[in-house]
Structure 1
Amino acid sequence: MKRAMLGKAGTAAILVALTTACNAPAPPKRTEAPDATSSGWTRPPAILSVRRVSASLVFTGEAEPGTRVVLRNDSGAAYAAAADGRGRFEIRMAAPAGDLWLQPETQIGQDAAPSPDRLLIVAGGRGPIAILRSGGPTRRLDRAPVLGAVDSDGRMRLASGQATGTVPIEVQAGGESVRVTPAAGRWSLMLRPANGPDGIAVGGSRFAWPGESGSGAVPRVERAGQGWRAVWTGAGGARQTTWLPDPA
């Protein structure tokens, strides 16, 4: 559950600004309505967790039963597995040497349903592992602090994280304080924009948001303050910054 730290007019503008979309890779043929399974379309997979096994990373999630689930990067390399009769899948891959961007998709024959999300593995899994979501909050798969991520497009910021139970969490930023009630173990909250670095306090823990990134190659991952900053581009060239704080 999320509440805005803005007035009604500011909130309406922010909701419009939130909508961006990730670029989908070319092969194979892709569908455009991933959730309309009743009409013959296939929904994209959902990655739910990751664990390290020796020198490998093992991702688990849910997809359409019997479909092929693929994690594909921009160079064409792919990691795949089949979803079982209950729709569960497990993909094992060697931990990369550095940063790796992947896009999940579901394949049935020659058709594919790419996810609008991006899976980011930082520093071979030694850093954060997260699902970056256009138009929504980033979801950390690794051990993360109470503030898991801050997503920004230069006009708004969306703070989010995990929580236990439904006890309200107090969030302070931009001179304001708001209590947000977690739902399904997660919380998210729109924050006022900031021209530069800004302090954010969540549940008594303080974080120093480092601000937007400068110009440079996209996508990229870089150290920024006490965390990692990922800069990536959605459909239409929309630029987005995601800051992933270090674990406590």
Structure 2
Amino acid sequence: MKRAMFGKAGTAALLGVLATACAPPAAPPTVEAESAVAAGWTRPPEILSVQRAAASLIFTGEAEPGARVVLRSDSGAAYAAVADARGRFDIRMAAPAGDLWLRPETQVGQDAAPSPDRLLIVAGGRGPIAILRAGGPTRRLDRAPALGAVDSDGRMRLASGRAPAGAPVVVRAGGESVRVAPDGEGRWSLMLRPSNGPDEIQAGGGRFAWPGEADPGASPRVERAGQGWRIAWTGAAGARQSTWLPDAA
């Protein structure tokens, strides 16, 4: 992930608190936002949650009111819906047989605004469902443990997760302990120093054995690693990224 993601804190203590990087859901679009659309500016859609209904997955999010929202795969397959007057949308799709990468995109008239984020569905939804974000923490949409993800770029690591009712989370790694205050959604993130190999991260009373970076090779790639899933993928400007998603409790 981008070097700037970790700022100056990487040279300080073993653990440095990162201000919560997951912003709260966008407020309902204003007149100014609608004027921006008319002027040719369109904001990308934001996926907020997922629900499973029988053999289907239903993704809920926010976009420009009246915009057509598309989840597009690298193979060209697409799933779409139209946002209502408040900008809310639901996209229903059959659960895939295996792993599926999707990129959210907003279409307003002839304008299209692809999101820089990637939506990953692991093992047809039987595994994690997450939003991978270059330069920010991975956002788990499925039922994740206290430690939802560890993102790394070979230099620094970013641990993140969600706390029940926004309660403070105690994170321990490398003999150090930090108390993290979640944001309004209960989401938190914390910078860790790099590790040359597997080590233990404690969060919210749970113990998680981080298996280390993904080996060089094909990208994107999803594989089992320890008690979780490890993803090798490519961020902005071809930067190599590695994300570990612990198994749900």
TM bin (shorter chain): 0.7 to 0.9
How many residue pairs are counted as aligned between the two chains? 222
Show the 5 A alignment for 1:70-219.
70-184=70-184, 185-219=186-220
Aligned-partner residue type, residue 102 of structure 1? L
Q: Provide the residue aligned with 1:29 in structure 2.
A: none
Q: Do residues 232 (structure 1) and 222 (structure 2) align? A: no
- What is the CA RMSD across the aligned residues, in angstroms? 2.1
- Judged with a 3 Å threshold, the aligned counterparts in structure 2 of structure 1 residues 188 and 82 are, in CA distance, closer, same or farther, namely same
State the one-letter code of the partner of 1:176. Answer: E
User: TM-score of the superposition, structure 2-length normalised?
Assistant: 0.84
2:246 aligns with 245
Does the C-alpha gap of structure 1 residues 200 and 109 become closer, same or farther in structure 2, counting only changes over 3 Å? same
Distance in 2 (CA, whole Å) between partners of 1:7 and 1:66 is: 42
For the residue of structure 2 that corresponds to 1:44, the secondary structure is coil
- Can you list the C-alpha shifts for 1:141-188, whole angstroms capped at 9, x where unaligned? 111000000000111100000112343211001221111111111110
**Deviation of residue 235 (structure 1)?**
2.4
Match of 2:51 in 1: 51
Q: 2-side partners of 1:162 and 1:183: how far apart?
A: 9
The structure-2 alpha-carbon separation of the partners of 1:37 and 1:126, relative to structure 1 and needing over 3 Å to count, comes to same
* Alpha-carbon distance change, 9 to 240 in structure 1, aligned in 2, over 3 angstroms: closer
Matched residue of 1:230: which SS? Answer: strand
State the identity as a percent. 77
Deviations 1:193-215, CA, capped at 9 Å, x for gaps:
10111100012210000000112
Structure 1 letter corresponding to 2:121: I
Whichever residue aligns with residue 177 of structure 2, its letter is S
What TM-score do you get using the length of structure 1 for normalisation? Answer: 0.85
Question: What 5-or-longer segments of structure 1 have no aligned partner?
Answer: 16-35
- Distance in structure 1 (CA, Å) of the matches to 2:154 and 2:10: 18
Deviation above 6 Å: which 4+ runs of structure 1?
Answer: none
CA contact (8 A) 2:10 2:193 kept: no
Note closer, same or farther for the CA distance 1:112–1:51 as it changes in structure 2 (3 Å cut).
same
Return the alpha-carbon distance in structure 1 between the equivalents of residues 210 and 182 of structure 2: 22
Task: Report if the CA contact (8 A) 1:6-1:192 is conserved.
Answer: no
Rounded Cα–Cα distance in structure 2 between residues aligned with 1:120 and 1:88? 21
- How far 1:40 sits from its partner (Å)? 3.3
Q: Using the alignment, how far apart are the partners of 1:174 and 1:110 within structure 2? A: 52
C-alpha separation in 2, matches of 1:124 and 1:167: 31
Q: What is the letter of the counterpart of residue 229 of structure 2?
A: W
Task: Supply the AA of the counterpart residue of 2:133.
Answer: R
Shift in Å, 1:9: 6.3
Which is further off, 166-175 or 205-214?
166-175
Tell me, in whole angstroms, the C-alpha distance in 2 between the residues paired with 1:54 and 1:203.
Answer: 31
Deviations along 1:92-150, one digit per CA (max 9) or x if unpaired, are 11110000000001001221111111000000000000011111111111110000000
Contact 1:6 1:191 in 2 (8 A): no
**Equivalent residue letter for 1:207:** F
